[in-house]
Amino acid sequence: MKKASVFNLNGQTTCTLGYSALVYNRYGCFCGFGGSGKPVDGIDECCKDHDECYDTFERNKNCTGISAKWEAYDWGCENSTSSCQDTNDRCHTLLNLRNQSEDCAVPVDVCEKTSRRIQYETMKWPVVPLLILLTAESIGSAPLAHIKSKNPYNLNSITACMVGRSALWYYNNYGCYCGLGGSGVPVDDIDECCKEHDECYGQALDQNICSLFGVYLMPYVWHCGDNSTASCSDFNTACGVFICECDRKIAECWKKYPQPEEKKSCVVPTSTTLSTTSELV
């Protein structure tokens, strides 16, 4: 299977084009899972070129062990232009710039921008594969009630639109609430944003607006507008609208604070600390 790095690619597509790469999923012969035959048009040719770019990267002997499909890398978004960040090492930089290298006939974002846009009404949403849940091992060992994995595909793209950076790179596994799980006292304002986001998702479940599947995997339609703003489409279901607003609000919250220089760890009280506290009370 040829699976694009759904988080990074979707974020960069949103930055460059103003809408989600999901509109291209299952389009033609090469956009999405698999890839064979003859491209049906220019858009599909872009996807074929992109598959070949990733194949070339994975054959690079200097980047052995790095998956082009799932590796996270650091990038920025400004004025509808995505750029590689200096925090990447050599291979991550190579992966980020792959669409602009000599190994690709046409940069995928430029190609898509000059091709016709697929309308929402003609889309066929796939069942989102479970591999979207980034840490399957953690999920497999965690009680279901404690899983608070975000909808990473949509959230990463909205963050790219509004904040200009990758949510996966900067905020995943940050503090006590950004990422899998969620408990304790937020370490700072950024972590507080994630706590509020968890609570927003919780409301969708408590109010029976979304099923458990819908909260964590519901694809929704949204638009990246001028001045780094995001809006949720009326095409969405009630669940899609609610989850979209949750994701839009956390991106709005993150935008208030400077880009984190490092990821803070969650401080979990020890049993001794808890015992002392209870005695004082």
Q: Which residues are catalytic?
A: 197, 247
Contact indicator for 30, 48 with CB cutoff of 8 Å: yes
Side-chain half-sphere of 27: how many Cα atoms within 13 Å?
Answer: 22
- The H or E element that residue 76 is part of is strand 75-78
* Structure tokens that stand for 154 in this block: 């949509």
Contact indicator for 35, 195 with CB cutoff of 8 Å: no
Query: Any long-range contacts for 200-208 (C-beta under 8 Å, 24+ apart)?
Result: 200/245, 200/246, 200/249, 200/250, 201/148, 201/150, 201/243, 201/246, 203/242, 204/239, 204/242, 204/243, 204/246
DSSP 8-state secondary structure symbol assigned to residue 226: G
